[in-house]
């Protein structure tokens, strides 16, 4: 309770005085340094870590110590695993990583839309590139119980705009990760709304071509596809069929919302298109798609629920609708690092009720 008040009343007002990118870089710096300091890591995990009584979440041969992971886009260069585990996350998706390193779009790349509990994201897949991140992750000892997912996307530049080049770009990323035997699972991100050339592979036929090539790269790790949330159900459903046909393990539902009309404070609507919006405006779309997907595939198909998890109740709702696990970013920024512990506790209660 005290840590919650401290974040809400003291830290958050200070943090929100700085630009989101400045705060993000500071957090990454702090997180990396905390990881080197067991004296800080230990109390951190006592305050925020996953309670021992939290039921494990198991699917596709993976075991998560709790139901909540960090979504792709926050630890995009793979620097934070230790710190995240101590903050109550059972795993994360590093990335999205691309074949070539990428500076991202022209700033401002992040804008807080405070009243709508959302972030306008115009990062454009800023990352150090798959080879550099592999080197970094290889040099680190990832916590034993922490599940390391890696999100792969297509480099955000003109060299990968043609279909064939785009496919080669994704394949290069996956091949390097497989060669390095790095990561516990891979997610193919075909739904980044703010890159050069657009969401190329978020259609049935192109997704089919992409997954056909990716399937030729042999490994034994679970694979997921991260889908967009703005497609009509018919289209979304046809993409699910492609994912299933290629025997991927499931999907992440889903990415950022492109419809600014879903912002609850209309005064926060940007005057021009500046990328997708996260948080609250993703919640309804993501939940509806999770529910319909679970109806379509009642079993043997993993759904990772992502978008607008701002409270423990939001997380449980996604699980009730059919998600195996939830991911978040925006909830942590708006509500603070205690959110993950609250979700872990609520999940324990929910699972106990199910048993009784």
Binding site for ligand FMN (CB under 6 A): 71-73, 76, 95-96, 110, 119, 121, 123, 125, 151, 189, 192, 226, 255-256, 278-279, 282, 306-309, 328-331
- Residue 118: phi and psi, rounded to 5, are -150, 160
Q: Half-sphere exposure of residue 128, counting CA atoms within 13 Å on the CB side?
A: 13
Do 254 and 226 touch, CB atoms closer than 8 A?
yes
Do 274 and 120 touch, CB atoms closer than 8 A?
yes
Nearer to ligand FMN, 90 or 192 (CB): 192
Tell me the closest approach of the beta carbon of residue 98 to ligand FMN, in angstroms.
9
Tell me the closest approach of the beta carbon of residue 355 to ligand FMN, in angstroms.
28
Do 137 and 130 touch, CB atoms closer than 8 A?
no
**Residue for token pair 């109390």:** 43
> Nearest to ligand FMN by Cβ — which residue?
73
**Rounded CA separation 260/204 (Å):** 25
Report residue 138 as tokens.
């290889």
Tell me the closest approach of the beta carbon of residue 255 to ligand FMN, in angstroms.
5
Tell me the closest approach of the beta carbon of residue 23 to ligand FMN, in angstroms.
11
CA distances 135 to 178, 180, 185, 217, Å, are 13, 9, 18, 21
Nearer to ligand FMN, 151 or 302 (CB): 151
Count of C-beta atoms within a 10 Å radius of residue 40: 15
Nearer to ligand FMN, 182 or 333 (CB): 333
Count of C-beta atoms within a 10 Å radius of residue 289: 25
Nearer to ligand FMN, 41 or 183 (CB): 183
Nearer to ligand FMN, 41 or 98 (CB): 98
Tell me the closest approach of the beta carbon of residue 283 to ligand FMN, in angstroms.
7
Tell me the closest approach of the beta carbon of residue 46 to ligand FMN, in angstroms.
25
Q: Which of 226, 8, 220 is nearest to 97 (CA)?
A: 226
**Rounded CA separation 36/195 (Å):** 35
Nearer to ligand FMN, 32 or 40 (CB): 32
């Amino acid at each position: 309770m005290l840590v919650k008040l401290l974040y809400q009343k003291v830290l958050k007002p200070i943090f929100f005085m700085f630009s989101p990118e400045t705060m993000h870089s500071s957090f990454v710096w702090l997180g990396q340094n905390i990881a080197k300091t067991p004296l800080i890591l230990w109390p951190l995990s006592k305050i925020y870590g996953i309670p021992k009584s939290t039921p494990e979440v198991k699917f596709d041969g993976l075991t998560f110590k709790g139901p909540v992971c960090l979504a792709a886009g926050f630890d995009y260069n793979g620097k934070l695993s230790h710190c995240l585990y101590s903050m109550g996350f059972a795993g994360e998706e590093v990335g999205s990583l691309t074949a070539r390193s990428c500076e991202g779009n022209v700033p401002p790349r992040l804008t807080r839309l405070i009243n709508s509990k959302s972030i306008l994201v115009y990062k454009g897949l800023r990352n150090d590139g798959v080879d550099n991140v592999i080197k970094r992750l290889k040099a680190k000892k990832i916590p034993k119980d922490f599940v390391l997912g890696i999100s792969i996307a297509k480099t955000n530049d003109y060299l990968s705009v043609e279909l064939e080049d785009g496919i080669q770009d994704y394949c290069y990323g996956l091949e390097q990760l497989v060669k390095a035997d790095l990561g516990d699972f891979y997610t193919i991100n075909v739904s980044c709304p703010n890159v050069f050339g657009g969401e190329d592979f978020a259609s049935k036929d192109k997704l089919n071509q992409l997954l056909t090539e990716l399937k030729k790269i042999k490994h034994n790790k679970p694979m997921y596809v991260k889908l967009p949330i703005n497609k009509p159900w018919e289209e979304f459903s046809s993409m699910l069929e492609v994912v299933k046909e290629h025997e991927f393990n499931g999907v992440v539902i889903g990415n950022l919302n492109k419809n600014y009309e879903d912002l609850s404070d209309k005064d926060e609507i940007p005057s021009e298109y500046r990328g997708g919006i996260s948080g609250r405006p993703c919640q309804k779309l993501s939940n509806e798609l999770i529910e319909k997907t679970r109806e379509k595939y009642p079993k043997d198909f993993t759904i990772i629920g992502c978008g607008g998890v701002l409270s423990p109740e939001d997380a449980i709702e996604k699980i009730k609708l059919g998600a195996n696990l939830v991911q978040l970013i925006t909830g942590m920024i708006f509500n603070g690092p205690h959110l993950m512990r609250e979700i872990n506790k609520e999940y324990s209660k929910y699972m106990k009720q199910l048993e009784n």
